[in-house]
Amino acid sequence: QVQLVESGGGLVQPGDSLNLSCAASGVRGSFSTYGIAWFRQAPGKFREFVAAISWNTDRTIEALSVKGRFTISRDNAKNTVNLRMNSLKPEDTAVYYCAAKLYGSDSSLSKIANYPYWGQGTQVTVSS
Reply yes or no on whether the pLDDT at 104 is more than 80: no
What pLDDT, on the 0 to 100 scale, is given for residue 57?
Answer: 76
Size (the chain), residues: 128
| pLDDT, tens only, 8-44 | 999 999 999 999 999 999 988 899 999 999 999 999 9
- Strand 34-41 versus strand 94-102 pairing type: antiparallel
pLDDT band at 56 (very low <50, low <70, confident <90, very high): confident
Q: Are 20 and 38 in contact (CB under 8 A)?
A: yes
Beta strands in the chain (DSSP E): 3-7, 10-12, 18-25, 34-41, 48-53, 60-62, 70-75, 80-85, 94-102, 117-118, 122-126
Q: Are 55 and 35 in contact (CB under 8 A)?
A: yes
Reply yes or no on whether the pLDDT at 108 is more than 90: no
What pLDDT, on the 0 to 100 scale, is given for residue 38?
Answer: 98
